[in-house]
């Protein structure tokens, strides 16, 4: 029994709001259904509609599928905890959840960078676009985005769960995230904190800088376009992508690059809601409402 207790954590989630448990359950269930249906619809129309068989929509289909995977790593467990009030999670389940959240989060960062590169080639080198972004290159870029993080995130998760946990087993979060888990570890966590910064720089800051570089080039080209109509059309193509980038990277950078002493559990939960739940929910709305091709495909469907 003592061994079982040692191997288990308790995900507190929103336990500090006991009167709102069923309201939160209903709210997050509706959000989860919206995410599944909206991202699933975008995935389907980009595969079925002949007008959407371009690299941009190939990446968007992968992004929508990734969003479904990403949100499914956290939301079902949170809904179960809210519905049953049983907050226990085994160490193996906690490590598995953390590994998948990190893996899907890293893949999302890299895929957003790939989508920025696609827009850069389309706007800055339109004549070479079909040659540069051929189907083989697109598959390689997507496969690289999915595979690159696997060894890093598995190793990173193993490193964190190799620590001794002799303090409280209560995780003040709605999923197994790095900052709240490190707070429960006893002994020196300096190496682990440094690893968090290194992984964040590689999988969040580096893609973010690549995106900024792509968009600085894109904006300089757009401003040189002769007519205001051409400028507006080029900006509308990129603005939806930029909105997703700001929402996702902004919250992720603040969460993982803040010093450990500055971590507030309440703030961490709110920021995590942004990059794990709100981005997957807003992504289809941002892409479909600002995209005439997607709206036309939806009408056809």
Q: Is residue 210 part of a domain?
A: yes
The answer as to whether 1 is a domain residue is no
Q: Answer yes or no: is 239 within a domain.
A: yes
Residue 128 scores a pLDDT above 70 = yes
**Token pair of 76 as six digits:** 């079902």
Number of domains in the chain: 1
Confidence (pLDDT) at 237: 64
Between strands 88-90 and 170-171, the pairing is: unpaired
pLDDT band for position 3 (cuts 50, 70, 90): very low
**H or E stretch at 171:** strand 170-171
pTM tops 0.75: yes
Residue in the structure block whose two tokens are 């990734």:
66
Q: Is 89 helix (H, G, I), strand (E, B) or coil?
A: strand
Contact 199, 157 (CB under 8 A): no
What whole-number distance in Å separates Cα of residue 47 and Cα of residue 267?
39
Residue 234: is its pLDDT beyond 90? no
Inside any domain, residue 2: no
Indicate which CATH number applies to the domain containing 68: 1.20.1070.10
Averaged pLDDT for residues 134-159: 95
Least confident span in 70-84, 244-258, 280-294: 280-294
Cα–Cα distance, 247 to 278 (Å, whole number): 9
pLDDT interval class at 154 (50, 70, 90)? very high
Dihedral sign of CA atoms 254, 258, 261, 262 in order: negative
Helix (H, G, I), strand (E, B) or coil at 8: strand
Q: Name the residue range of residue 278's domain.
A: 8-300
Between 58-67, 232-241, 279-288, the lowest mean confidence (pLDDT) is in 232-241
| Domain contains 277 | yes
Exposure string for 60-87, b = 16+ CB within 10 A, e = fewer: bbbbbebbbbbbbbbbebbbebbeeeeb
Question: Which of 17-21, 87-91, 154-158, 294-298 tops mean pLDDT?
Answer: 154-158
Split at pLDDT 50, 70, 90, the class of 224 is confident
């Amino acid at each position: 029994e003592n061994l079982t207790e040692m191997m288990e954590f308790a995900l507190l989630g929103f336990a500090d709001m006991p009167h709102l448990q069923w309201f939160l359950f209903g709210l997050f269930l509706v959000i989860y259904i919206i995410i599944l249906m909206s991202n699933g619809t975008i995935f389907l129309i980009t595969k079925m509609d002949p007008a959407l068989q371009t690299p941009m929509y190939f990446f968007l289909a992968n992004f929508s599928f990734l969003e479904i995977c990403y949100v499914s790593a956290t939301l079902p467990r949170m809904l179960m905890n809210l519905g049953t009030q049983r907050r226990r999670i085994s160490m193996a389940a906690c490590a598995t959840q953390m590994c998948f959240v990190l893996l899907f989060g890293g893949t999302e960062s890299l895929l957003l960078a790939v989508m920025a590169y696609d827009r850069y080639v389309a706007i800055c080198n339109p004549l070479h676009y079909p040659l540069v972004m051929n189907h083989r290159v697109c598959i390689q870029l997507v496969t690289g985005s999915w595979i690159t993080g696997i060894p890093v995130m598995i190793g990173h998760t193993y490193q964190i769960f190799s620590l001794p946990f002799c303090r409280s087993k209560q995780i003040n979060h709605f999923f197994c995230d790095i900052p709240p888990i490190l707070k429960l570890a006893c002994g020196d966590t300096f190496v682990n904190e440094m690893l968090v910064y290194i992984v964040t720089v590689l999988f969040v800051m580096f893609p973010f800088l690549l995106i900024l570089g792509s968009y600085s080039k894109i904006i300089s080209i757009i401003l040189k376009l002769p007519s205001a109509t051409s400028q507006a059309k080029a900006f509308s193509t990129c603005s939806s992508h930029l909105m997703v980038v700001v929402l996702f990277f902004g919250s992720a950078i603040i969460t993982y690059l803040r010093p450990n002493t500055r971590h507030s559990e309440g703030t961490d939960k709110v920021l995590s809601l942004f990059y794990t739940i709100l981005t997957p929910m807003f992504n289809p709305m941002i892409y479909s409402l600002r995209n005439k091709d997607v709206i036309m495909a939806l009408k056809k469907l």
